Structure 1
């Protein structure tokens, strides 16, 4: 009985004061308020509050990790730079009416309220609208059913529609008969289209004038040369082929890992995303029993104006490098750019223990930031996808 008294008293406060208090919370906490009682739910659902809430949270940056214990216990772990703790978002209940409990799911991408999964069992794509709590099966792409191993993080992009809408686009790029092709799914008509890219013959801003911010999809990530497709975010133009060369590895003759690396003698990891490349260099660590790696330096590279070269933008300052320097056996990463800021993630495993590093680089200010993350117990969890996202809104 006593447990209900604070809620009743809290509900009697003026709605304007309650809204001001609620706006200090993170979005998942606000969503949970709907289940307290009808009075609180009506305040959270008020159109003016929803507008103010979305205005505030559109600028939030999210990190999502999908983990599986037993298949029925799959959870999205989320952390935002506007909060100080991790959120657990049960996802199995949403997926249960659509897929069988034994299906093996992998988390591919997120944008706005949309989360994209692939079933490695049936090789199907599934989209989840987290706020509307709906699940949609996506028709097979023109390339046919594809399992987990077919999807490359830097070669795909999920683009949510305007806040409150139930539309999204999913783009990915592949070499088909040695020709760079872009494939795009649009939820509005539930159809795929494919476009062959054209070679680039000019500077990128001029080529895509009036096409909005550019979307970059990696097709091939080589040691010295890459193949990248660029297209305007409005989707009303033909994609262009970029073939940037990389001269910074001339003195590095050892094997290069892309996106993911075991600590077995590979001293350079290259992570691609949104037209940028993060280079992570490591040194050997030999304690007599095992041979592992330790982080040494991190650089950020970007495309030249004409898209023909990778140019170094910045190097992580030594003081920050010292803060994150640690040994690892396995390491993976992802890179995302939004509004002039590059977010870079490194997730490493050292003797069974996972560690996450979140770095941000402000291009205009030439400023690196290390975002401290609270402890996250990942021991025994089966990692099945990790990505940055933004634009999560209340509906």
Structure 2
């Protein structure tokens, strides 16, 4: 017998809902059929035999729908349930992966932000530390400069006080000595260098004469410190005793070419370097001072300066040894010697011991200068000479 072809079914979901009672009955019938329909196998002592149980002996519950249709519907429901479970599992997995990815991204962004904040903080701390170090160094430099300046000012004040005390002491000594009174004769001496003769035993006293090297002098018994009284034209004068000898020195050879009248023009041991770049008058001053004061061995010539003189080779410095002590008297001897020979040497200016003399204001004698700071700036350690 040929089955009639089924009509096209309506959508599955309404159909399943409508047939839920039948599905329940079908499932129960399937359970009973699994136990009632089939064969029971028993094993005897002989050959195995299969005893069939008649189906008529099994009473099945009444089923409204045909069994085949119920089974078909049950399978459809199972497939739908399994597909739904698979979809749910896939969606849950996809959601878990998305959550994990979002969490990883969030963590990466948080780590990146934390790292950026850390670097910003470290940079700010480093800049703050560098700024603090710079401020500390600036403060230390400022403090050191202030201490150095204070030390220089203190030393200048001490030197000035010592100089005043020394001069006061010499002045009081001269007052008691009466330098103009001739003492008893004590023999003869000869000068070893061109030597200043003064009215009193003081480098600041009036210059009486400039004696040539090798001159014979009549000395007296009177002395004052490093000074010896001599007789010049029947009057008392004072010279530095260390430049006197008791025997006539050998005559020096004639001065070299270019010398000024009355002063030495011979080459000086220090001339090889100092005279480089000097103008002729400055060279003449150097050689004259070098010959008259052999104890001075250091000179300054051409150098950069903010004022005219040294840069053009028209100035020379005679550095005075032990200038803060006994050398002060030597410095004044050099200054007075150059001043006395200014016209012959082409000198226009002499500076020493914070005093200045110029040809333009020669009638005013030595004039005081303002305090410029250190001993070199105040010309205490050297005699400065400027020439035409």
TM-score (norm 2): 0.26
Report which of the two structures shows the higher radius of gyration computed on alpha carbons.
2
**Higher helix fraction: Structure 1 or Structure 2?**
2
**Higher strand fraction: Structure 1 or Structure 2?**
1
TM-score (norm 1): 0.26
